């Protein structure tokens, strides 16, 4: 598995894109899209010296992510690339992880399948099938 991105909940995606550009010398890798399933605006940023992306997530008021934003937002999940999402899920279930959502197509990742799982320590992990 390879770390693909860190998902970060923000209250204003445009403002945070500019902050990441200034602070981390990051470049916007995607346009800002609206994911109707998650009810959120999303984008990816990257600094060329890092091996992973930042996914900025601005929940829309009706989103299941909105309560997380109301608590201040911040780091939401880690996403790892996997070759076979079903086999990876079997592995994680053996460790006590619980599926939370998916698999579902992810518009930000060309509709590749993703699944969110809650680890025994309550860490939220996203698996992205590549």
The span from the first CA to the last CA of the chain, in angstroms, equals: 11
**Separation in Å, CA 56 to CA 20, 43, 95:** 10, 6, 29
Check whether 25 has a pLDDT greater than 90. Answer: yes
User: Which CATH number covers residue 121?
Assistant: 3.10.180.10
**Total domains, the chain:** 1
What pTM, to 2 d.p., does this model score? 0.94
Report pLDDT digits (tens) over 14-23.
999 999 999 9
**Separation in Å, CA 40 to CA 49, 57, 117:** 28, 6, 19
Report pLDDT digits (tens) over 49-66.
999 999 999 999 889 999
Domain enclosing residue 51, as ranges: 2-129
């Amino acid at each position: 598995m390879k770390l693909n991105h860190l998902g970060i909940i923000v209250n204003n995606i445009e403002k945070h894109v500019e902050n990441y550009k200034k602070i981390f010398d990051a470049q916007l890798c995607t346009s800002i899209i609206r994911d109707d399933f998650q009810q959120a605006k999303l984008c990816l940023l990257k600094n060329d010296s890092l091996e992973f992306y930042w996914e900025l997530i601005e929940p829309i008021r009706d989103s299941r992510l909105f309560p997380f934003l109301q608590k201040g937002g911040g780091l939401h999940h880690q996403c790892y690339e996997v070759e076979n999402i079903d086999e990876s899920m079997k592995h994680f279930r053996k460790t006590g992880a619980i599926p939370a959502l998916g698999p579902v197509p992810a518009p930000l990742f060309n509709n590749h399948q993703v699944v969110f799982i809650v680890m025994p320590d309550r860490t939220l992990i996203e698996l992205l099938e590549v």
